[in-house]
Structure 1
Amino acid sequence: MNALANNPTAQAVDNVLIYIFGFSLILLLGITVVTVWLVIKYHRSKHPEPTSEVSHSILLETIWTLLPTLIVLTMFWYGWTNYTGLREVPEGALEVKATARMWSWTFEYPDGQRASKLYVPVGKPIKVQLISTDVLHSFFAPAFRIKRDTVPGMETYIWFEATEPGSYDIFCAEYCGVGHADMTTSIEALNEADFAAWQQPKATGGEARGLAVMNELGCVGCHSLDGSEGIAPSLFQLAGQKRNLASGGEITINAEYLKRAIRDPNAEVVAGYDPMMPAYDENTMNDADLQAVVDYLLGKVQKPVAPKIDARALLENNGCIGCHSNDGSESIAPTFKGLGSRQVTIIRDNEEKTIKVDAAYLRQALLNPNKELVKGFPAIMPSADYLSDEEIDALVQYLLQQ
């Protein structure tokens, strides 16, 4: 699908192309017409001998020197002004980080969400920060006329704006190895409602309102939910607990105490902690949210169910499918099909060894992929150490079942 004609980046490039092509066409036609006219008028059969004694013409020499110079200068000026427009990102642009690696793209949003396709809202400028983890790649979206190299160790960017919903191709336009031709993905331009729905967490199991309020207000930045101690008391299983106060005495945690501790936290400070918690008045936390937080802390609502991790989505969103197939076909990396039931020959300490694929091997292959290379495949896989332990475990279990 092509972008609309009023797409800002596409229009800037197209206008320069039309301007240069238009002048080139006019000059081509003009020179051709004059050449044909001169051939006919001064054909040898009509003028066997030269009759003109003119050696030069200041006027003509001035015209054919100045005119092309002015035309080339206008081409440069028009091209330069439109180029600078391609580098000046409009205010309010949504920033997305695009990471290129052999041979896939990964897009990360400000909220930490990752995807293997670039999902964007229609009508909003998008700034794409380009990063390469290995070799030279090039981000090329032809519908928007944008192309920019991604160089290892150097951050750069491009921007664009989708003016109508649709799916637009993204290619790597710089040869980056044997999987270069497969390094493709797309820009998915969604209307405002669809993009908002896509941004919603994909987790299963609802989140209690009380916990949502605490996340929004940053409470869990100081208070843990699992019993571990930090710079503030843990909020784990509070109902009925007794706490010593810095002012002396002891208090039993109940709904009344929690409400006081939220509205006026420094009136009854727990012993061993600094009085640094801000007060949450009705303007910051209304009574309904206050009650929801208290009910959650006292266990009167069901704690949120840990979301089930979609291992296949993890593989797709982190670019693994760009190198590993699911159908048994071998390419630049071993296939996932039948992985949990086969043996592989690995290179360990410069020696070949055949092992059975198990959970321990897969975990190491994800976190330290180049320590034990599968024979016949290059050392190109990046470490997945940015994933959580739960995500690593989900991937291991998924791969063992293939």
Structure 2
Amino acid sequence: MLPTDNPTAQLVDGVMIYIFGLSLLLLLGITIVTIYFVVKYRRSRCPEPTSDVDHSIVLEAIWTVLPTLIVLTMFWYGWVNYVGLTEVPEGAMEVSATARMWSWQFEYADGRRENRLFVPANTPVKVRLQSTDVIHSFFVPAFRIKKDMVPGLETYVWFEAPKPGSYDIFCTEYCGVGHADMITTIEALSAEDYAAWLVADAPPEHRGLVVLREQGCIGCHSIDGTPGIGPSLFELAGSPRQVEIDGQTTEITIDDDYLIRAIREANYEVVQGYPAMMPSYDEASLNNDDLQSLVDYMMGRPDTTSAPLDGARLIEINGCTGCHSTDGSPSIGPTFQGISSRDITIIRDGKEVTQQADADYLLRALVDPSVETVKGYPDIMPPSDYLSPEELDAIVEHLLQQ
């Protein structure tokens, strides 16, 4: 039986019980009155009508006003509880959920991604919903929450798990041949277990962010777009910036070269509207490796100094195994087992071509899968353009070892 001791389930169940209870009461009342009239006014007892009454204002008022009041109370109760489903409690934890054919991916504030939703029990959680391809629908029966996910439209739901446990997540909008397999779970953990999970699965901090803190840069420059003494370092790559050079204002586009100059020769190009007070950092105070880490961080690139990416882990959290088996069993797409040691027949420009699944082919199959479709399988795989080059390389390297 589904649990009812959580706030969203109580909101939905309360309305359902109220409407069902009233409907049952009306059904019983109408049935009893009907049976009574059938018995009392049966033809054998009353062969001819004897009443001259053609209307009753009282009765007409009752059967007009009473149903109207009942329907209005149903609407009011339903509306109040529906609003409750949209009002997220203050301090709720936020997670982003992305649906794609045919997998779920959850991204946390610290950048980590998972194919299951890990949350602390007894804590309200807001889930931001988005779809990358077709219409999906996020449905958690235990919490009575369901919301359609339309490409290009961000929506949200919220819930609170009353106790640790595993709760199913389904897609309830038919989204293609893999729809039935688009299943994952909410893993509600105790406070202690969730804290341990945060530490165990925490992604390594970007070396550039570490250097920013070590050098005291975030004392003047915010990293989230909020105003500060100096310009914010939030989403810099490719954005225009007005700078003053020798008293002349000019517009530049932020790239690696500009950022390096802004650090090594801080007062050569001063951002308009900010004082020329930033110190320059020579190699003695900031070596070239740390400088490059800073630039990579500000340009939104991954940390090249961290441990190698785990291709198997990336395959798992990006939902690849929703369509591709790893043990040779048939699935929606070709199995990953032995993929690098077998020839693959592909359809390219309408012609069949047989080739080995080498690194170049696997990379093309990830980035633009519709160009070369494996024979016998539908052309339904979405492009993996949301992955970084480093993540793509890690996945290819792992597949080559299968």
TM-score, normalised on structure 1?
A: 0.76
Give 1:312's aligned residue: 312
C-alpha distance in structure 2 between counterparts of 1:390 and 1:215, whole Å: 26
Listed as ranges, the matches of 1:99-178 within 5 Å are 99-178=98-177
> Contact 1:103–1:319 (CA<8 Å) still a contact in 2?
yes
Give 1:347's aligned residue: 347
Give, in angstroms, the shift of residue 393 of structure 1. 2.5
C-alpha distance in structure 2 between counterparts of 1:392 and 1:59, whole Å: 76
Q: Which amino acid aligns with 1:372?
A: E
Measured at CA, do residues 204 and 324 of structure 1 come closer, stay the same or move farther in structure 2, by a change above 3 Å? same
> Contact 1:2–1:168 (CA<8 Å) still a contact in 2?
no
C-alpha distance in structure 2 between counterparts of 1:206 and 1:34, whole Å: 73
Listed as ranges, the matches of 1:278-289 within 5 Å are none
C-alpha distance in structure 2 between counterparts of 1:269 and 1:45, whole Å: 109
Give 2:179's aligned residue: 180
Kindly report the root-mean-square deviation, in angstroms, between the aligned alpha carbons of the 2 structures.
3.4
Listed as ranges, the matches of 1:89-108 within 5 Å are 89-108=88-107
Measured at CA, do residues 63 and 268 of structure 1 come closer, stay the same or move farther in structure 2, by a change above 3 Å? closer
C-alpha distance in structure 2 between counterparts of 1:86 and 1:205, whole Å: 36
C-alpha distance in structure 1 between counterparts of 2:283 and 2:307, whole Å: 35
Per-residue CA distance 1:246-287 (angstroms, 9 max, x = gap): 9xxxxxxxxxxxxxxxxxxx89855699x9x9xxxxxxxxxx
> Contact 1:203–1:308 (CA<8 Å) still a contact in 2?
no
Give, in angstroms, the shift of residue 71 of structure 1. 0.2
> Contact 1:96–1:127 (CA<8 Å) still a contact in 2?
yes
> Contact 2:111–2:203 (CA<8 Å) still a contact in 1?
no
C-alpha distance in structure 1 between counterparts of 2:45 and 2:110, whole Å: 81
Per-residue CA distance 1:63-88 (angstroms, 9 max, x = gap): 01110111001101110111111112
Give, in angstroms, the shift of residue 376 of structure 1. 2.8
Q: Which amino acid aligns with 1:68?
A: P
C-alpha distance in structure 2 between counterparts of 1:391 and 1:217, whole Å: 31
C-alpha distance in structure 1 between counterparts of 2:26 and 2:106, whole Å: 46
Give 2:263's aligned residue: 232
Measured at CA, do residues 215 and 369 of structure 1 come closer, stay the same or move farther in structure 2, by a change above 3 Å? farther
Give 1:37's aligned residue: 36
Give 2:66's aligned residue: 67
Give 1:381's aligned residue: 381
Give 2:390's aligned residue: 390
Measured at CA, do residues 55 and 213 of structure 1 come closer, stay the same or move farther in structure 2, by a change above 3 Å? same
Give, in angstroms, the shift of residue 232 of structure 1. 2.6
Q: Which amino acid aligns with 1:138?
A: S
Measured at CA, do residues 79 and 369 of structure 1 come closer, stay the same or move farther in structure 2, by a change above 3 Å? same
Q: Secondary structure at the match of 1:335?
A: coil
Bigger radius of gyration among the two = 1
Measured at CA, do residues 400 and 215 of structure 1 come closer, stay the same or move farther in structure 2, by a change above 3 Å? farther
Listed as ranges, the matches of 1:183-194 within 5 Å are 183-194=182-193
C-alpha distance in structure 1 between counterparts of 2:160 and 2:92, whole Å: 9
Q: Secondary structure at the match of 1:40?
A: helix
Q: Which amino acid aligns with 1:359?
A: A
Q: Secondary structure at the match of 2:52?
A: coil
Give 2:337's aligned residue: 337
C-alpha distance in structure 2 between counterparts of 1:121 and 1:186, whole Å: 14
> Contact 1:205–1:305 (CA<8 Å) still a contact in 2?
no
Q: Which amino acid aligns with 2:42?
A: H
C-alpha distance in structure 2 between counterparts of 1:350 and 1:185, whole Å: 37
C-alpha distance in structure 1 between counterparts of 2:47 and 2:279, whole Å: 115
Give 1:326's aligned residue: 326
Give 2:229's aligned residue: none
Measured at CA, do residues 174 and 204 of structure 1 come closer, stay the same or move farther in structure 2, by a change above 3 Å? closer
| Structure 1 gap segments, 5+ residues each | 223-227, 234-243, 247-265, 278-292, 294-303
> Contact 2:100–2:133 (CA<8 Å) still a contact in 1?
yes
Q: Percent identity?
A: 59
TM-score, normalised on structure 2?
A: 0.76
Measured at CA, do residues 84 and 373 of structure 1 come closer, stay the same or move farther in structure 2, by a change above 3 Å? same
Q: Secondary structure at the match of 1:321?
A: helix
> Contact 2:263–2:280 (CA<8 Å) still a contact in 1?
no
Q: Which amino acid aligns with 1:314?
A: L
Measured at CA, do residues 318 and 47 of structure 1 come closer, stay the same or move farther in structure 2, by a change above 3 Å? same
